[in-house]
């Protein structure tokens, strides 16, 4: 089967968060299972393509004010996957992917509409897939355009669409005038399609027009159908509940394993944990921390700094946490408020919290290896990858029981010796503090702590199982759309409404 991924980031070409890890790894698992996979991405300034070759010289993307002309280059084929990059320097040759700490780029709608339309046009030259698998609002216009502007195009007659929600908190909201500018029909501006409280909502468009909707953990697939987590789109999702599935993200152990990691000071394994002590020393040196006692546990944080991640709770409890024998090391960048919050906490408690405001992959790996615990107190978390990486590094996760964090971490029970981490449910500082204290208490019994570490290290979250689940979804989509031109009768709830 030929599947084309359409996404706004992908390791190793571009990354701001876990989406890039997923789009980097899932295609490889699919290709290994014998499928043909293409990946379409924007060509950003950060996208390094030493062997770039132009494969589509000029694509005309009509906007209401004027035409834009872009091209498509290939970065070659890696592990059997073809990578294609939409090249339009006025939109993508910029310092960042989506905006600066001060806010989003004002022309994000135009940028990602051009990207989506260019992908559809390019696929006619490079090979129309059986399924377009799109991710998050930046590629949400692919299913919308396929069922509107391209509805009568014979090239796309049998093409199916799968849309994966990695984060409901980012929807792509723009003023109504964007529709005519992008040459999209006004009839999309209704409550049953893309209208959302007076604005145009790209994500909503994908939820309405895609054949199948997935999200990145089972728990999150349920949460987003509630008012608390649905960000206003819970009703749209409930309408399509029969086509919404949660498939847990896998992780790429070629990149994230303490036995092979090229960024860490020493390798280690469940059988021989001694290298972890070397990694801990190396980590503390990298952060310039000289602890009063080298046996104190280190609590690591690696994160986008965003409201989603729950760091306001750390600020609430830091004065009390600072009384404990421990050190927090945090790496992150993003919203100004959290960057400043962490800097302030470091000034206030220089012996207890060290911070790097940066995006730094090598340091992220060092934190996974050198910490004893990993903290993710997220307000919501669709899947979360760092807690899964942490398990493999014997770095015990302390998490809030939400979304993928709840699905991947089992509570530690010292009596039975079962479990992989510590979880709390109520979103407040008291619950977080209590849970961290439980973890610190458990750390004092090093022999049972090592059982806990090894429980996590033995877990397998590689992509194999989840990739198979995606293939099952692609197969269902092909059935709906008609394999070999013979259209199957869609199940009633799968009829693409508003076609």
Show the site string, 376-415: x = touches ligand ADP by CB under 6 A, - = not. -------xxxx-----------------------------
Show the site string, 148-177: x = touches ligand GLC by CB under 6 A, - = not. ------------------xx----------
| Long-range contacts at 429-435 (CB < 8 A, ≥ 24 apart) | 429/313, 429/316, 429/317, 430/317, 432/310, 432/313, 432/314, 432/316, 432/317, 432/377, 432/400, 433/317, 433/320, 433/321, 435/398
- Indicate whether 216 belongs to the interface with ligand GLC (CB under 6 A): yes
The separation between the first and the last C-alpha atoms of the chain, rounded to the nearest angstrom, is 25
Q: Which is nearer to ligand ADP, 336 or 472 (CB)?
A: 336
Q: How far apart are CA 84 and CA 118, in angstroms?
A: 11
Show the site string, 300-329: x = touches ligand ADP by CB under 6 A, - = not. --xxx-------------------------
Question: Which residue number has the CB closest to ligand GLC?
Answer: 18
Q: Of these, 258, 384, 421, 456, which contacts ligand GLC (CB under 6 A)?
A: 384
3-state secondary structure of 294: coil
Question: Which residues make beta-bridge pairs with 354?
Answer: 329
Report CA-CA distances (Å) from 454 to 62, 122, 393: 57, 48, 9
396-455 positions binding ligand GLC, by CB under 6 A: 404
Q: Which does 332 bind (CB under 5 to 8 A by kind): ligand GLC, ligand ADP, none?
A: ligand ADP
Q: Of these, 249, 395, 431, 455, which contacts ligand GLC (CB under 6 A)?
A: 249
Q: Which is nearer to ligand ADP, 320 or 343 (CB)?
A: 343
Nearest to 134 by CA among 152, 121, 115: 115
Report CA-CA distances (Å) from 268 to 53, 107, 238, 361: 41, 47, 46, 20
CB of 89 to ligand ADP, least distance (A): 26
Q: Which is nearer to ligand GLC, 56 or 388 (CB)?
A: 388
**How far is Cα of residue 436 from the mean position of the Cα atoms in its chain?**
26
Q: Which is nearer to ligand ADP, 129 or 172 (CB)?
A: 172
- Indicate whether 19 belongs to the interface with ligand GLC (CB under 6 A): yes
Q: Which does 33 bind (CB under 5 to 8 A by kind): ligand ADP, ligand GLC, none?
A: none
CB of 404 to ligand GLC, least distance (A): 6
Read off the DSSP letter of residue 76: E
Residues binding ligand ADP (CB under 6 A) = 17-19, 21, 302-304, 331-333, 359-361, 364, 383-386
């Amino acid at each position: 089967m030929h599947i084309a991924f359409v996404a706004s980031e992908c390791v190793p070409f571009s990354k701001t968060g876990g989406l890039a890890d997923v789009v980097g790894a899932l295609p490889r698992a699919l290709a290994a299972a014998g499928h043909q996979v293409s990946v379409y991405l924007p060509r950003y300034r950060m996208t390094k393509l030493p062997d770039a070759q132009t494969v589509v010289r000029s694509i005309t993307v009509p906007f209401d004010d004027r035409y834009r002309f872009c091209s498509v280059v290939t970065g070659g084929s890696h592990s059997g996957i073809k990578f294609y990059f939409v090249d339009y320097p006025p939109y993508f040759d910029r310092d960042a992917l989506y905006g600066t700490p001060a806010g989003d780029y004002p022309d994000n709608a135009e940028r990602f509409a051009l990207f989506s339309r260019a992908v559809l046009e390019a696929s006619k030259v490079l090979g129309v897939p059986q399924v377009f698998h799109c991710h998050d609002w930046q590629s949400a216009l692919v299913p919308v355009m396929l069922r509107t502007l391209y509805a009568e195009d014979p090239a796309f007659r049998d093409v199916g669409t799968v849309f994966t929600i990695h984060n409901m908190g980012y929807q792509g909201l723009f003023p109504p005038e964007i529709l005519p500018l992008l040459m999209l029909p006004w009839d999309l501006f209704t409550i049953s399609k893309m209208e959302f409280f007076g604005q145009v909502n790209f994500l909503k468009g994908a939820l309405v027009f895609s054949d199948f909707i997935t999200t990145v953990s089972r728990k999150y697939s349920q949460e987003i159908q509630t008012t608390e987590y649905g960000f206003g789109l819970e009703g749209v999702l409930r309408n399509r509940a029969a086509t919404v599935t949660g498939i847990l993200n896998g992780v790429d152990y070629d990149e994230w394993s303490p036995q092979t990691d090229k960024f860490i000071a020493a390798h280690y394994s469940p059988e021989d944990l001694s290298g972890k002590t070397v990694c801990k020393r190396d980590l503390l040196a990298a952060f310039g921390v000289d602890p009063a006692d080298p046996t104190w546990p280190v609590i690591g944080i690696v994160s986008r700094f965003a409201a989603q991640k729950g760091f306001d709770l750390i600020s609430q409890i830091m004065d009390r946490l600072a009384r404990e024998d421990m050190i927090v090391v945090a790496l992150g960048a993003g919203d100004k408020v959290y960057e400043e919050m962490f800097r302030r906490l470091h000034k206030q408690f220089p012996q207890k919290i060290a911070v790097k405001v940066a995006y730094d992959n090598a340091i992220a790996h060092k934190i996974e290896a050198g910490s004893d615990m990993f903290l993710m107190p997220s307000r919501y978390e669709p899947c979360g990858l760092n807690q899964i990486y942490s398990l493999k590094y014997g770095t015990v996760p302390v998490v809030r029981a939400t979304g993928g964090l709840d699905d991947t971490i089992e509570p530690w029970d010292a009596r039975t010796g079962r479990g992989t981490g510590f979880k709390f449910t109520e979103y407040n500082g008291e619950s977080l503090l209590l849970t961290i204290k439980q973890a610190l208490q458990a750390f004092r019994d090093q022999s049972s702590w090592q059982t806990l570490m090894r429980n996590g290290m033995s877990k397998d979250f590689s992509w194999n199982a989840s990739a198979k689940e995606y293939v099952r979804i692609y197969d269902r989509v092909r059935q709906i759309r008609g394999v070999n031109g013979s259209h199957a009768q869609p199940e009633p709830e799968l009829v693409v409404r508003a076609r």
